[in-house]
Chain A
């Protein structure tokens, strides 16, 4: 399959602090990739860096190639033509991601009017159709309504409609269900998967939730403290986690069929803030397997099956299956 997105050695710094370091990812046309990790590990920043929307005082290095063209080197005008047209994004907080003083129809129509060269009237019709497609039946939710008249789930559908309105090649979903209640979460995920399959979009799913990743994508990367610590197909990574951090995340996950009453395991400590990351392996302060070698940064090494891990003491076969 043709490569759609290729990120090589992406790093982001602010005022001498490194927030993201040496992140490399690959996503095929129509493929799907999950980015998982605790909050503050750089998942969202990676997404914003792809969009060229990271805060202005942040400096990005490396390259982000979309169909071969480096977005980090592109000028603002070129980026505006890419955003919303080729790459689109769904955000975490649907209630604040929408402009409170504009109708939802107008907010959806804006992209098509700009990127597809539609007339005002045609863009409005298009927006109506897209809203219907994401499950907002115009007979029940009018495009002339305002965000505050909608529920959180409906708002997230509007945000999704805005993202898919121009048929992008890549959809980035940044914690798209985190702010929603549990019953709505599954329906929103289904909608995203449905749209991705229908339109042949590639999906970059960002979540702190292993379950969401397992359900929505085929490949995944685990991030910790601004770096990728493990990557591969979901089957390999989830079936045979090799990094102690990945293992920790999985153990911290509630399992529906698990033994009730058994306490969930937690990773000791918390993610240190940028600047307080230990040298070498950033996880070593929280890792039971760490020793002197871990003061040297472990390289991300892939095996023959493409399963990569950055650890001096990866978990062996003993880690297969709970």
Chain B
């Protein structure tokens, strides 16, 4: 168990190093001089040189990389090129938008998909199953941003129940802030829920065919009890894998959904920073997102160990997928 987690930790650290190197390298070869970007094309050459020196741009690449990573690790982030404040100051208010949004969406997706998937599997081939699978087939095909537009059309334009976009800030009160996040969360969640429901259904169906389910029934458990007590935990293993993958989709989805709903979150920040060539913001954000994805995957691995005793005891067995 300890060994298993230690291995995963090392893998996570290596992935992050690789990711940061990649981002750094890509931004390094990118055309465009940050000093020129800040001061404008009419700046004098000596002013530019002075700025480059103060930004450390005259240092060799490996040194700048190490300085950057050192700063990240010590929590001391450099200043944004366009906003002129440390990236950490840019991040805080935006995380306050994106994190609740992602969590709401995840909760919604899981809360919808798990019960529906289990229900569909338990009633395989019957009307409930057909309806759930039909809805899921449709849900997988709907782009989340179009779903967002449709929601705006229905709830903001026609019914006028919810704001069509923007974010009032948490200072305006929890009610209005949540109201601004409801539609984006639904738009993000439904397509993911559709995928998760299908995965859940097939995982449960697979488990229903296992021998130990028959053993459970032979003990006198009803179908429902056998599924609840013996089936679900086994079925959760592949489901958790997909949930982990989906979290990174949710993160990426915020880029587009925050644009649809005009939300001042991380996704919109990174989108704008890329457009403005704000290298400092881009590289920090990319590593932050990669780290988040890595941590989530680590949690997924941890939950395998909790779900499956065979992994806990270090038995030689690869997890599904």
Interface residues of B in 216-234 (CB under 8 A from A): 216-223, 229-230, 233-234
Q: Are A84 and B218 in contact (CB under 8 A)?
A: yes
Q: Is the CB of A99 within 8 A of B219?
A: no
In the complex the two chains form, is B230's CB within 8 Å of A99's CB?
yes
Given contacts A146-B313, A148-B315, contact A96 B210 (CB under 8 A): yes
Closest to B222 in A: A80
Is A162's CB under 8 angstroms from B309's CB? Answer: no
CB–CB B214/A85 < 8 A? no
Q: Is B137 an interface residue (CB 8 A)?
A: no
Q: Report how far A80 CA is from B217 CA in the complex, Å.
A: 8
- Flag if A99 contacts B234 (CB, 8 Å): yes
Q: Is the CB of B214 within 8 A of A53?
A: yes
Known: A99-B234, A101-B233. A83 touches B218 (CB 8 A): yes
Are the C-beta atoms of A159 and B215 separated by less than 8 Å? yes
The reply to whether A110 and B221 form a contact with Cβ atoms under 8 Å apart is yes
| Distance, CA A89 to CA B307, complexed state (A) | 28
Within the complex, what minimum Cβ distance (angstroms) separates B295 from chain A?
A: 25
Interface size class of B (residues with CB under 8 A): 20 to 34
Give the residue name and chain of the A residue nearest to B230 (CB): A99
Chain B residues within an 8 Å CB radius of A100: 212, 234, 308-310
Q: Does B45 contact A (CB under 8 A)?
A: no
How many angstroms from the CA of A98 to the CA of B211 in the assembled complex?
A: 7
Distance, CA A172 to CA B160, complexed state (A): 67
Q: Which residue of chain B lies nearest to A92 when distances are taken between CB atoms in the complex?
A: B211
CA of A254 to CA of B219 in the docked complex: distance in angstroms? Answer: 36
Q: Flag if B219 contacts A98 (CB, 8 Å).
A: no
When distances are taken between beta carbons in the complex, the residues of chain A under 8 Å from B229 are 110
Partner of A148, one of B215, B217, B221, B313: B313
Q: How far is the CA of A309 from the CA of B71 in the complex (A)?
A: 89
In Å, the complex CA distance between A78 and B310 comes to 36
A156 to chain B, nearest CB (A): 12
Are B220's CB and A85's CB within 8 A?
yes
- Which B residues from 130 to 150 make CB contacts under 8 A with A? none
Give the number of A-B contacts (CB < 8 Å).
Answer: 76
CA distance A253 to B218 in the complex (A): 32
Q: Please indicate the chain A residues that have their CB under 8 angstroms from the CB of B216 in the complex.
A: 99, 110
- Residue of A53, A81, A88, A97 touching B212 (CB-CB under 8 A): A97
Cα distance, A98 to B215, chains bound together (Å): 7
B211 close to A76 (CB less than 8 A): no
What A residues does B234 contact at CB under 8 A?
99-101
Q: Does A114 contact B (CB under 8 A)?
A: yes
Given the complex, which residues of B lie within 8 Å of A51, measured CB to CB? 218
Are B210 and A53 closer than 8 Å at their CB atoms? no
Given the complex, which residues of B lie within 8 Å of A77, measured CB to CB? 222
A149 within 8 A of B: yes
- 148-170 of chain A: CB within 8 A of chain B: 148-149, 159, 162-163
Which chain A residues border B222 with CB–CB below 8 Å?
76-77, 80
| Chain B residues within an 8 Å CB radius of A101 | 233-234, 307-309
Instruction: Report whether over half of chain B's contact residues are helix, strand or loop; otherwise say mixed.
Output: helix
Complex contact A99–B309 (CB within 8 A) = no
Q: Which of the four size classes fits the interface of chain A?
A: 20 to 34
Tell me whether B308 and A96 are in contact (CB under 8 A).
no
Residues of A within 8 A of B313 (CB): 146, 148-149
Nearest B residue to A57, CB-CB: B125
Q: Which residues 85-128 of A have a CB within 8 angstroms of B?
A: 85, 88-89, 91, 93, 96-102, 107, 110-111, 114-115
Q: B308 touching A97 by the CB < 8 A rule? A: no
Q: Complex formed: what's the CA distance from A96 to B313 in Å? A: 18
Are the C-beta atoms of B309 and A98 separated by less than 8 Å? Answer: no
> Given A83-B218, A110-B219 in contact, is the A96-B212 Cβ separation under 8 Å?
yes
Contact between chains at A91 and B211 (CB < 8 Å): yes
CA separation between A47 and B233, bound complex, in Å? 28
Q: Which of A140-196 contact B (CB under 8 A)?
A: 146, 148-149, 159, 162-163
Q: Give the distance to chain A from B221, nearest Cβ to Cβ, in Å.
A: 7
Report chain A residues within 8 Å CB of B218: 51, 53, 83-84, 88-89, 91, 163
Q: B18-50, CB under 8 A of A: which get 1 and which 0?
A: 000000000000000000000000000000000
A102 to chain B, nearest CB (A): 7
A162 / chain B contacts, CB cutoff of 8 Å: 215, 219
Q: When A99-B230, A148-B310, A149-B313 are in contact, do A111 and B219 touch as well, CB less than 8 Å? A: yes
Q: Which of B212, B229, B234, B315 has the most CB of A within 10 A?
A: B212
Q: Please pick, from B220, B233, B315, the residue contacting A83 in the complex, using a CB distance under 8 A.
A: B220
Closest to B217 in A: A53
Question: What is the interface of chain A, defined by CB distance below 8 A to chain B?
Answer: 51, 53, 76-77, 80-85, 88-89, 91, 93, 96-102, 107, 110-111, 114-115, 146, 148-149, 159, 162-163
Q: Known contacts A84-B219, A99-B212; can you find 13 more A-B pairs with CB under 8 A?
A: A84-B218, A84-B220, A85-B220, A91-B214, A96-B211, A97-B211, A99-B215, A99-B234, A101-B233, A101-B234, A101-B309, A148-B309, A162-B215
5 tightest A-B contacts by CB? A84-B220, A96-B211, A84-B219, A99-B212, A83-B220
Tell me the B residues contacting A by CB distance below 8 Å. Answer: 210-212, 214-223, 229-230, 233-234, 307-310, 313, 315
9 A-B pairs with CB atoms under 8 Å apart are A76-B223, A80-B220, A81-B220, A83-B220, A91-B215, A99-B215, A101-B308, A146-B309, A162-B219
